[in-house]
Structure 1
Amino acid sequence: MKSFKLAIAAVALTLGGCSTFFDKNVEWEYVQPDNYPVIRAVGYAPISAQHGESVSLRTIQAIKASKLDAYRELTEQVYGQKIEGNQQLSNLVLSDNGLKSSIQGVIRGAQVVKAYAVDEDTYVTELELDFKKVYDIYLSTARPKRIKKVDYY
């Protein structure tokens, strides 16, 4: 029985020496894009349609609404728009036709380029999103890497 255990130990050591598992050292390098696009979006809001007791309060609300509209447009450009449609037939006659869209995403690094009133009733906000800035924000949190060199021992 003792010789059987010795034989198993010898076989295990022999097979362990022929293992395909190697110790390795991996060098990583950070990947940087070749170019960075800059996208722009414009948001609009009517001043008179805002709720408020005074013109200045309605103007402030229109400023906020136009900025949100510009952010919505940026999000649409970056992430796309989800479209859902439905049609309903009754006796082979179209009885209901519906279309619904939604946008969802996170925009970081956008900056207001201009904010101004076009006339007495419309407020406009122009936003810009520089993907160099977005990439820098991404690097600060994710630190993406690729394999630069692998040394096997």
Structure 2
Amino acid sequence: MVIAMNTCTRRMAAVSLLLGLTACASASQPAAESAMRPQAESPASGGSFTGVGYAGPGIEPEAPKVVVKEVNPYAPVIIRATGNGAAPYTSALTPSQRKLLSMRAARLDAFRSIAEQVQGMKLVGNSSVANMVATSDGFRTYVDAYLRGVRMVSTNMLPDGTSEVVAEITLDQDFYKQYKNALEKTGSVMKAAQQNGVAGVECTEGNCGASRYESNFYVAH
């Protein structure tokens, strides 16, 4: 009788231990699953994990900012040109005269370069071909402009006796307005450039493009 009671007691203890272990395993399994998936479903983000990935709202890129910069249509433009000149080699001139002639030639060359950029130039060419062979090829350039407001930046005498001059002119608001008026009257860019005789500062009445100067006439103030 005593042996039977001991056996029943041992069986009841074993069953109680088994039930306790089963309860602990059941309680720890949801905690482990929740620890492995802490962000499975987030009400705040509005997304959820599906069988193939994450479904939810994406991150929209910021719209680029458009910066509008105002540009002055009459902003001054500075045109700079370099001229070179050499004095004639003759014994009739003194060294001082040869130096002055060299500087003068360099200044005129600088004026011509500025006139070509502001007013443009006329190019005339002629080529001859005989028996599929070029026999002659020549061209000429013509400059017809009236300049005012040209400033000499620097004048240098080079070791070889030549002179180098750097000149510049500023195309300001008056120049643009005058060119616009000439373009409205003629309706042609080329004709407006031909009639636009003055570049630079304001000119006097009756001499602002009204008179046309030829034979490469230049004036500097």
**For this structure pair, what is the TM-score category when the shorter chain's length is used for normalisation?**
0.5 to 0.7
Partner of residue 96, structure 1? 136
Of 183, 187, 202, the match for 1:137: 202
Contact 2:157 2:164 in 1 (8 A): yes
Contact 2:147 2:200 in 1 (8 A): no
SS of the residue corresponding to residue 137 of structure 1 reads coil
Partner of residue 24, structure 1? none
Runs of 4+ in 1 over 6 A off after TM superposition: none
Identity between Structure 1 and Structure 2 (%): 25
Contact 2:149 2:201 in 1 (8 A): no
Matches within 5 A, 1:1-153: 33-47=73-87, 49-51=88-90, 52-132=92-172, 134=199, 136-138=201-203, 141=205
Q: Distance in 2 between matches of 1:92 and 1:102?
A: 30
Q: Distance in 2 between matches of 1:38 and 1:75?
A: 13
Partner of residue 191, structure 2? none
Amino acid at match of 1:131: L
TM-score between the two structures when normalised by the length of structure 1: 0.61
Contact 2:152 2:165 in 1 (8 A): yes
Larger Rg: 2
Contact 1:46 1:62 in 2 (8 A): yes
TM-score between the two structures when normalised by the length of structure 2: 0.44
SS of the residue corresponding to residue 202 of structure 2 reads helix
Structure 1 alignment gaps of length 5 or more: 1-31, 143-153
Contact 2:121 2:143 in 1 (8 A): yes
SS of the residue corresponding to residue 60 of structure 1 reads helix
Amino acid at match of 1:117: M
Deviation at residue 94 of structure 1 after TM alignment: 2.4
1 or 2, which has the higher strand percentage? 1
Distance verdict in 2 for CA 1:86–1:118, change over 3 Å: same
Structure 2 alignment gaps of length 5 or more: 1-71, 175-198, 207-221
Q: Distance in 2 between matches of 1:72 and 1:94?
A: 31
Distance verdict in 2 for CA 1:41–1:50, change over 3 Å: farther
Deviation at residue 36 of structure 1 after TM alignment: 1.0
